[in-house]
Copies of this chain bind each other. A is one copy, B any other.
């Protein structure tokens, strides 16, 4: 198998959620041993990245910074969630992490995080295995 996915229910407007364990489980399902993992969301108001996942204070610090980061300009989009669209494409809807011995190779303090920017919603996270060169 080359791809799998899992669901995450978010509970706030802006939420930074550690999904490392779900991605590790996905990697086991995929069965790939080396190369890389492409972790992505099919959404336009969420993002995926890698960050510090040991201190809960970092979670709320990042959430506060995200909420304050969007410039104060006119937004015309009728749904009112242009700030979420903007941050989603600025941060990125995917990340690529090395895969070694069947596990994402992360630093000691690193985890893979889903960033909800327009919640609460049900989100899908996709994991694709990429071959080593």
A interface list, Cβ under 8 A from B: 2-3, 30, 32, 34-36, 38, 40-45, 49-52, 55, 57-58, 60-62, 64-65, 67-78, 82-83, 85-86, 88-100, 105-110, 113, 126, 128-133
Contacts and interface: CB of A to CB of B under 8 A. Distances in A.
B36 A44 contact: no
Chain A facing B: main interface SS: mixed
A91 B41 CA distance: 17
A85 B61 contact: yes
Total identical chains: 3
A129 B18 CA distance: 27
Nearest to A109: B44
A129 B38 CA distance: 14
Given A70-B65, A74-B64, A44 B49 contact: no
A91 B90 contact: yes
